Amino acid sequence: MAEFYEGTLDTLMERLCSSISSFDQEWVKRCVPATEEQIQQLQDILAEYHYTIPAAYLYYLRRMGQDDGGLLENQWDGCEVDIGSVLKLLFDKVGFYGRKHLYARKHLEEGLFLFSNNWTDACFYMKLSIEEDNPMVTDIENTYVAESFEKYLFRKAFHMYQEGFAHSDFESSSVCHEKKEKEDCRTCPFYGDTVEGRMDFINQMAESYGLKKAWFSDLAHFICYNSYYAFEISVCDGYSVKFSCNDDKLWKQVRYSLSLFPEFFMYLSKYESCEDQYGRYTHFDTAENEDSKPYQKGEDLYERYAHFNRYGDISKFITDPDLLQVTWDKYVYISNENNYDIAVGLESCYAPFDEVKPFIAFLATQICELDNIVQRFNQKKRIKNGGRGYVCLPSPVGILRIDYSQSIEDNPAPQEEKFNFILACIYIEEKNRVSFDYWCTTENSQLDVVFEYKENKFFLQRYGIIDCIPDNWEEK
């Protein structure tokens, strides 16, 4: 795993070179520094506008000003960041660069120094000030790109690191523009009319799952990496995420959830493990008997539950409320017959279709993880032999159900029998209460599972005849 080192500004180049060399030892050999004559020429031009070369950029020039080994040059096709191109752009008044020369000089008057030029006008500037040694980076429209030139360099180094992974993908999602509080946002997990609002959402989600951002993250970019994966979430325009990993199992888990950030973070949290002195992972659940052993390196919950995520392809679900339709027999299909064939029954729904339509669309994005919860409960919890605890709970028919607290055995002997049920239909008979109707594939039987939606999360409430399931059952 690469390590991206944090430190004082005067150690910028030493830290940057060490970081990139940890995954590309040949890179430093390609770097060529700017000459002192070139640096002086640039200083003379900036002095005309009462500026000096910012310290962070000066360190960069003296280490890789003529050739940075592709660090910034590969930002865009045709990107020019070398000191020769920058000087030519500022000096040339009549040649090929003549028109851009005028723009570059005009922007200098506004305190914006063009250090990265591209023929498509995808240009980048430093926001200069007399006292700023590590200036902010903006684009041609003076829009925020990076908090500082130092973080910009490390972010580009991180992008180089991501290119070395076996699996990589990019996903972009727009913002939910409906005017509502985030607690009521059921049509999608995204909200935020501003960059600050969107980043606040990402920070809260990451913190709730124990994911820590890298130090070179900034106001619009959340970056995270460990020995399993590396990803960056940008909230500049909506939400976008680029995720990379080498682990095939992890890749299968996250590839369909990149745009569903709560589920995306949930999968990654399983890989936030702690190694003991023997390299064993102790974060995951283990049986509490003396013969049990911590999972060995490389083994995790997904290896035990290999059949999970059977509803993981989000493209097979209808997640746009406007595309949902009611059939003649009062059902709304959230996936068609050629895919998962799952429907929501409206005949007993607590409210009219137009009122529950946004929630149904949101529910379609959650099906995979809710089904995973059902399977985890099936494997982890069993009714005790001769279990007691039958109670008569309030219901229209007074059904006797099993009280969870009295009759359930935690972590029973492993039973690797397959979960022979498929999700057929969903009912929303009460607000914030969802019932899953499972059909058995080996015999004529059904399984009723109930979830309660509260605090922006779904909690398993009933599994068949097992009732009174506590919210924190997975922690027991």
Per-residue pLDDT tens digits for 104-147: 888 898 999 999 988 777 789 999 988 889 999 998 888 899 99
Same domain? For 443 and 374 the reply is yes
Considering 216, 241, 272, which residue would you say is the last residue of a domain? 272
| Residue 455 pLDDT greater than 90, yes or no | no
**Secondary structure in 3-state letters for 47-103:** HCCCCCCCHHHHHHHHHHCCECCCCCCCCCCCCECCHHHHHHHHHCCCCCCHHHHHH
| Residue 436 pLDDT greater than 50, yes or no | yes
Same domain? For 47 and 178 the reply is no
Would residue 365 count as lying in a domain? yes
Would residue 72 count as lying in a domain? yes
Burial of 203 (0-12, 13-18, 19+ CB in 10 A): middle
pLDDT digits (tens, 9 = 90+) for 312-370: 888 889 989 999 999 988 999 998 766 788 999 999 999 999 999 999 999 999 999 89
Of residues 279 and 327, the one with the higher pLDDT is: 327
Same domain? For 30 and 142 the reply is yes
Of residues 15 and 238, the one with the higher pLDDT is: 15
Same domain? For 323 and 436 the reply is yes
**Secondary structure in 3-state letters for 14-51:** HHHHHHHHCCCCCHHHHCECCCHHHHHHHHHHHHCCCC
Same domain? For 464 and 323 the reply is yes
Give the phi and the psi of residue 411 in degrees, each rounded to 5.
45, 60
Would residue 301 count as lying in a domain? no
**Total domains, the chain:** 3
Same domain? For 77 and 172 the reply is no
Residues 6+ apart with CB under 8 A from 239: 172, 173, 174, 175, 190, 198, 202, 233, 259, 261
Same domain? For 178 and 255 the reply is yes
Range of the structural domain that residue 397 is part of: 314-475
Mean pLDDT, rounded, of the chain? 80
Q: Are 126 and 46 in contact (CB under 8 A)?
A: no
Please report the pLDDT score of residue 272 as a whole number. Answer: 64
| Residue 220 pLDDT greater than 60, yes or no | yes
Same domain? For 173 and 135 the reply is no
- Range with the poorest average pLDDT among 279-293, 325-339, 460-474: 279-293
Of residues 416 and 426, the one with the higher pLDDT is: 426
Of residues 76 and 419, the one with the higher pLDDT is: 419
Model's pTM, two decimal places?
A: 0.59
CA distances from 153 to 73, 157, 255, 260, 327 (A): 11, 6, 28, 29, 55
Same domain? For 108 and 232 the reply is no
Q: Are 449 and 438 in contact (CB under 8 A)?
A: yes
What CATH number did the domain enclosing 228 receive? 3.30.310
Burial of 382 (0-12, 13-18, 19+ CB in 10 A): middle
Considering 117, 146, 175, which residue would you say is the last residue of a domain? 146
